[in-house]
Amino acid sequence: MKAPTPQAALDARPRAVDAVPVTAFDYSGSAIPIRDDLPAAHRDAWQWIASPGPWWTGAERVAIALEVRRAGGCALCRERREALSPLGVSGEHDHAGVLSDAAVDAVHRLVTDASRLSRTWVEKTLAGGLSDGHYVELLGIVVCVIDIDFFHRALGLPLEALPAPLPGDPTQQRPSGAREGVGWFATLDKDAAVGEYADLYPKAPQIPNVIRAMSLVPDNVRMLKKMSAAHYVPHTIVAKVAAETGRAISRSQIELIAGRVSARNECFY
């Protein structure tokens, strides 16, 4: 029998307790028809967030998700966003009191002012008690929650309740092949993504940095690919503009929307 891929292993991981009820992400009342792969991806994402990761417990990961939602109403974040430089505004975030100050600041800045993050800020964040692994894992959770919550807001749907955290300790597993050189954190390049990490990248001569960026925490990349396949197109056809997407709009329309959203979000790319 062929051994399961790491992605399949992630999907089939035993669940001692299911953090996400089968009734979660029920879109049957939506005025717009919603494909079945979307609620399935959202439920998987909620289960993933509730589970312990390599550096955060399930409870801490759910607390990170909660801070994603609190950041939008944070007075300090609003003041910093309006300031010429966020570094010139001090104060305390409106937060739930679960995470460290460094973790709260990281979540809130990622949510409200990501286009102005800098290496100086990252170094200060790490000096505040977060390891690079903690930060990258936190980043993956932030991206996932923003993705799902904005999907709900765009359709005028209420936000889904956050999942109940699952027990267990962080694995503290760090890919041995991760190396510095691209971006601000160590990543796995194509040659290092072998063995249990062989599923991370598409079989292409060049790996986009947006895929590589969170590879210090490989499950972040796997979840990003799953969410992208549901909300955008599968990574295997991103470069194949003539490929069938199964979407209600054309690939040209998809890219027009994606480009406009990226511009509005002041995306670096």
Q: What is the pLDDT of residues 211-239, one digit of tens each?
A: 899 999 999 999 999 999 999 999 888 88
Q: Report yes or no on 6 lying in a domain.
A: no
The per-residue pLDDT for 265 is 83
Residues 79, 180: Cα–Cα separation, whole Å: 34
Q: How many C-beta atoms surround the C-beta of residue 16 within 10 A? A: 7
The per-residue pLDDT for 44 is 97
Residues 46, 175: Cα–Cα separation, whole Å: 24
Residues 117, 110: Cα–Cα separation, whole Å: 8
Q: Report yes or no on 241 lying in a domain.
A: yes
Q: Mean pLDDT, to the nearest integer, of 198-205?
A: 80
Q: What is the pLDDT of residues 20-59, one digit of tens each?
A: 887 899 999 899 999 999 999 999 999 999 999 999 999 9
| Sign of the dihedral through C-alpha 135, 215, 219, 151 | positive
The per-residue pLDDT for 269 is 66
Domain holding 257, by residue range, is 36-264
Q: For the ranges 88-92, 114-118, 262-266, which has the lowest average pLDDT?
A: 262-266
What total of structural domains would you count in the chain?
1
Q: Report yes or no on 30 lying in a domain.
A: no
Residue 14 has pLDDT above 50, yes or no: no
Q: How many C-beta atoms surround the C-beta of residue 119 within 10 A? A: 9
Q: Report yes or no on 1 lying in a domain.
A: no
Q: Report yes or no on 7 lying in a domain.
A: no
Q: What is the pLDDT of residues 124-152, one digit of tens each?
A: 999 999 999 999 999 999 999 999 999 99
Q: Report yes or no on 246 lying in a domain.
A: yes
Q: Report yes or no on 177 lying in a domain.
A: yes
In 101-198, which ranges are continuous DSSP H helix?
Answer: 101-112, 119-127, 132-154
**Amino acid identity at 64:** I
Q: Report yes or no on 157 lying in a domain.
A: yes
